[in-house]
Structure 1
Amino acid sequence: MITPAPEYVSARRALLDALAALADHLDNLILVGAQAVYHHAGEAELSVPIMTTDGDLAINTHGLEDAPEIGKLLRDVGFTAGPNPGHWIAPSSVAVDLMVVPHQAGTSKPSARAARLQPHEKFTARIARGLEPALVDNTHVVIGSFEPDDDRSVRLRVAGPAALLTAKGIKMAERLELAGTEPHRVKNKDALDAFRILQAVETDDLVRGFGVHSQEEHAATVSKEAIELYREHASTPQGALPVLAAAAAQGDPSVAPAFAALVTGLLAALS
């Protein structure tokens, strides 16, 4: 593996710090986001190096223990609560985000951003739609440090590639809807991460993952939405997502056609 960017090394260090603090809740945590994507995709034969500046964890609240209190655990090792729910900032200024899916959030208030995980503090985690498949589509893996003088490793649940592809799709769909008024929220990197998954993971494995999602109503609903998002915005080289991915890949002319071809193949296999 190519040596990760310094920012990614710092992000992994902060993630391991958070996981060590949350050891008593480890089986209720699932790695999602870019660090999970890179676990499955690695370099994905792209000229753009893998790089992320944070860590993302979904909390499965089913069976989550009341104690020890999550916020106190993180504060005891130097994390501070950021301005938004679930945004925890390490002493190194690297963020680790804790997220909960809507149907486990303890509130149905449409404007709510913070999950209610009493007796854990109110702003422990933010509500994030799109992670539902990660609760049922994950496997235990061992993740470690990227630093030679840090021998820490943690056995942790990591979201499966189909779950990550769904999460990226839901996230991009929400941001594409806001593109007219908040164009800064559309991130090229999200599309490139989706392309990394499509490029690195066998179509049959993705199909199996989506099959797992279909067995749980909440996972099935968001997976279907994500699939339609890819059908509408990624099945041709001119689609919004292939274009964004190509821009993130420094204008590589092969990315958009490859993205569209992989999406087309996946859609055919799913049908």
Structure 2
Amino acid sequence: MMAPEYVAARRVLLDALTALEPHLDSLVLVGAQAVYHHTGDADFIVPLLTTDADLAVDAALLDDAPEVGSLLRAAGFTPGPNPGHWVDATDIAVDIMVVPHQSGTMRPSARGARLPPHEKLTARIAPGLEAALVDNTTVAIAALDPQDLRRFDLRVAGPAALLTAKAIKIGERLGQAERQPDRLKEKDALDAFRIFQAVETAALVAGFALHRIDSYAHDASAQAIELYHEHASTPEGHIAQLAARAAGGDPVIAASFAVLVQGLLHTLA
């Protein structure tokens, strides 16, 4: 049985897609809902659970009109304290993100993308999603509530693109851990482990090869592979340990994570 939080998160995703339907071709589903699309339960001891939705915007495909913020506000979303964080009336969020090279700003400290004529709160700058813009497949995304009959054809990031995004997100937060330990989320590592567990190595290798068609995607995935080598290729690695803690301290998780990462690294070598 699906966790009610996950069912609600899917509802809010569909609410956002309904509002943003004029821009649907520019959107890619990323984050946990994309991970679960590829993995399902994956015979895993920790149930599927996410409380929000994540969308990457390909700014090169985003039309000027209708204005994104106006569409979301009309659908009952309000901007949160951070750019790109849109919250519905039940306090469930949709995060809208843009990769740095499409963000319209070169300021290193900038958090919000500049996508005029869309408002400044529209999207957050998010490194690591570059691969999702080239490594994705259009699939039907439906509600998890059987009473909700909505369905959208939406691009969903591929498994290798999701591994890239997760690694870069974790790597960034490992660097901030001493100052902001609360930003290091164990669940991100567990989601990466789900992908390694559920997706064949050959499919991951094919995804990473696809990233080579774009220099930004290639650079991001190369950075991610190095992070997995450094932090997940042994059971003692930070990412492997984070995944184990997210699974209730199961020691088998860290060891399994390391073996799966070693297998990918060996095939990519």
TMscore range, shorter length: over 0.9
- Corresponding residue for 2:137? 139
List 4+ stretches of structure 1 deviating above 4 A: none
Matching residue of 1:89: 87
- The SS at the match of 2:12 is helix
Q: State the Cα RMSD in Å.
A: 0.7
Where do 1:35-114 residues align within 5 Å?
Answer: 35-114=33-112
**1:34-58 Cα deviation digits (max 9, x unpaired):** 0000000111211100100000000
Cα distance in 1 for residues equivalent to 2:40 and 2:248: 18
- Provide the C-alpha distance between the structure 1 equivalents of 2:215 and 2:209, rounded to a whole number of angstroms: 12
Q: Which residue identity lines up with residue 159 of structure 2 in the other structure?
A: P
CA–CA distance in 2 between the matches of 1:112 and 1:178?
A: 17
Cα deviation per residue 1:32-88 (whole Å; 9 max; x = unaligned)? 000000000111211100100000000001131110000000111100011100000
In the alignment, the residues of structure 2 paired with residue 116 and residue 42 of structure 1 have an alpha-carbon distance, to the nearest angstrom, of 36
SS at match of 2:13: helix
What is the match of residue 151 of structure 1?
149
Q: Which SS does the other structure have where 2:48 is aligned? A: coil
Correspondent of 1:181 among 170, 179, 182: 179
- Between 1:47-56 and 1:182-191, the stretch displaced more is 182-191
Q: Distance in 1 between matches of 2:179 and 2:118?
A: 35
Identity %: 64
3-state SS of the aligned residue for 1:212?
helix
Residue ranges of structure 2 left out of the alignment (5+ in a row) = none
Q: How does 1:108-127 map to 2 (within 5 A)?
A: 108-127=106-125
Q: Paired residue for 1:34, among 32, 35, 50?
A: 32
For structure 1, the residue ranges without an aligned partner over 5 or more in a row are none
Length-normalised TM-score, structure 2: 0.99
Describe the SS at the equivalent of 2:104.
Answer: coil
In structure 2, how many angstroms separate the alpha carbons of the residues matched to 1:235 and 1:145? 37
Name the structure 2 match of 1:237.
Answer: 235
1:183 Cα shift? 1.2
In structure 2, C-alpha distance between the alignment counterparts of 1:155 and 1:116, rounded to whole Å? 27
SS of 2:61's equivalent in the other structure is: coil
1:214 is the counterpart of 2:212: yes
CA contact (8 A) 2:127 2:168 kept: yes
Q: Assess if the C-alpha contact under 8 Å between 2:25 and 2:61 holds in 1.
A: no
**Aligned pairs, number:** 269
TM-superposed CA distance for 1:253, in Å, is 2.4
What SS does the aligned partner of 1:55 have? strand
C-alpha separation between the residues in 1 aligned to 2:231 and 2:137?
29
Given the alignment, which residue of 216, 225, 228 partners 1:227?
Answer: 225
* Separation of aligned partners in 2, 1:241 and 1:110: 26
Supply the AA of the counterpart residue of 2:265: L
Counterpart residue identity of residue 24, structure 2: L
Per-residue CA deviations over 1:245-268 (Å, capped at 9, x if unaligned) read 111111222211110000000000
Cα distance in 2 between the residues matched to 1:63 and 1:161: 22
Which of 199, 202, 209 is 1:201 aligned to? Answer: 199
TM-score normalised by L of structure 1: 0.98
